[in-house]
Amino acid sequence: MEYSVLSDVVLVKLLQTGDEEAFQAIYRKYWHPLFVVARKKLYSQENAEELIQDLFVDLWERRETIQIDELKKYLYGAVKYKILNHIKALLIRQKYENFKIADLSESDYQTENLLAYEDLNKALEVGIAHLPDKTRQIFRLNRLENHSVRQISLLLRIPERTVEYHIMQSLRTLRFHLKEYVGAV
């Protein structure tokens, strides 16, 4: 069967049955246009690539339960929300960094912020400790040592999709462990 000539409706139905070739056809058809949108908004090729990869990993993982009326609208909407979430995460990280380097002039204020910072660090370490070994290793390489998905894939000799999966799992676990802190930032 030639998947590239199938309509989006048919491809979605095949995707929902777990048809990997249908998924690949969707990926080939939409990856580049979605990437262009993400790159324009994020001003970063690497961040755009990672965001689009995450979108397709999510699509594959949720293929059996996902409800899609129009594939193109769904994918562009998903990119929009992923971009917004990415920007929100950057703002939170930026606030956290500003918090770390802020010049704390008043001693009471300084003590309070220092305690809050220590609590946040402890919560982060506890969250990281709860990650499975491979997920923890990949998280540290990606988020703490700033290695790209491709670099980690080559370093650990595992597929990029596996790296992306572990990053996604680590972020979900850490969001749970840090939910009281993220709301406060």
Task: Tell which wins on pLDDT, 169 or 117.
Answer: 169
In the predicted model, what is the mean pLDDT of residues 55-70? 93
**pLDDT, position 173:** 86
Least confidently predicted of 37-51, 75-89, 90-104, 121-135: 90-104
CB–CB of 101/119 below 8 Å?
A: no
Q: Is the pTM of this model over 0.85?
A: no
In the predicted model, what is the mean pLDDT of residues 18-43? 94
CB–CB of 154/179 below 8 Å?
A: no
The alpha carbon of 117 is separated from its chain's Cα centroid by a whole number of angstroms, namely 24
CATH 1.10.10.10 given to domain 102-185: yes
In the predicted model, what is the mean pLDDT of residues 18-46? 94
Least confidently predicted of 13-17, 108-112, 120-124, 165-169: 108-112
| CATH 1.10.1740.10 domain extents, the chain | 1-89
**pLDDT, position 184:** 44
CB–CB of 133/166 below 8 Å?
A: no
The answer for 19, left when phi > 0, alpha when psi is -120 to 50, beta otherwise, is: beta
CATH 3.40.630.10 given to domain 1-89: no
pLDDT at 104 over 50: no
In the predicted model, what is the mean pLDDT of residues 78-100? 82
**pLDDT band for position 125 (50/70/90)?**
confident
